[in-house]
Amino acid sequence: MEYFDKYRFEGDPVLLDEIAREMVPLVPPGTEVLAGLEMGGIPVVTALGRHAGLPCAFVRKQAKPYGTCRLAEGADVEGRRVLVVEDVVTSGGQIVLSTADLRGLGAQVQEALCVIDREQGGADALAAEGIGLLSLLTAADLRAAAV
């Protein structure tokens, strides 16, 4: 199994900024809110929102029992077209769970966007839930670049 240290690009402001700039053309027309998933999707969605000029929601794996007690913080998602943003997709499991939660809050979610699709079944798992996967890079792209 290949290990990819995703925090290397998430923690590098110059690289993260460049990644976000390259992701903007992948944002589907009509998107109203970018929803970053805890934890890796948060830096990506913040940088992407800056470049795309779109508001961001920050999606927890589960709502905290104190404070606002909300599952999605930041921009309101109810009745809006929301693009789920994640750093790396492997199985797609967290996107499936978070999309169900967002849809439960009234969000219209049709796609998810990630920096890297590891090509390990995530796209198929998402398609089964009516979610199209868009990616900036794939595992094959990274292997080809490493040669």
CATH of the domain at 82: 3.40.50.2020
Which stretches of the chain are assigned E, i.e. beta strand? Answer: 33-37, 56-59, 72-74, 81-89, 108-117, 132-138
Give the model confidence (pLDDT) of 64-87 as tens digits.
777 777 889 999 999 999 999 999
Cis preceding linkage at 23, omega within 30: no
Q: What is the pLDDT of residue 63?
A: 73
Q: The domain containing residue 47 runs over which residues? A: 8-146
Q: Is residue 135 part of a domain?
A: yes
Q: Is residue 32 part of a domain?
A: yes
What residue numbers does the annotated binding site for 5-phospho-alpha-D-ribose 1-diphosphate cover? Answer: 60-61, 64, 86-94
What residue numbers does the annotated binding site cover? Answer: 60-61, 64, 86-94, 118
Q: What is the pLDDT of residue 124?
A: 97
DSSP 39-55: TTHHHHHHHHHHHHT--
Q: What is the pLDDT of residue 8?
A: 78
Q: What is the pLDDT of residue 34?
A: 98
| Structural domains of the chain, count | 1
What residue numbers does the annotated binding site for orotate cover? Answer: 90, 118
Residues in the chain with pLDDT values less than 70: 1-4
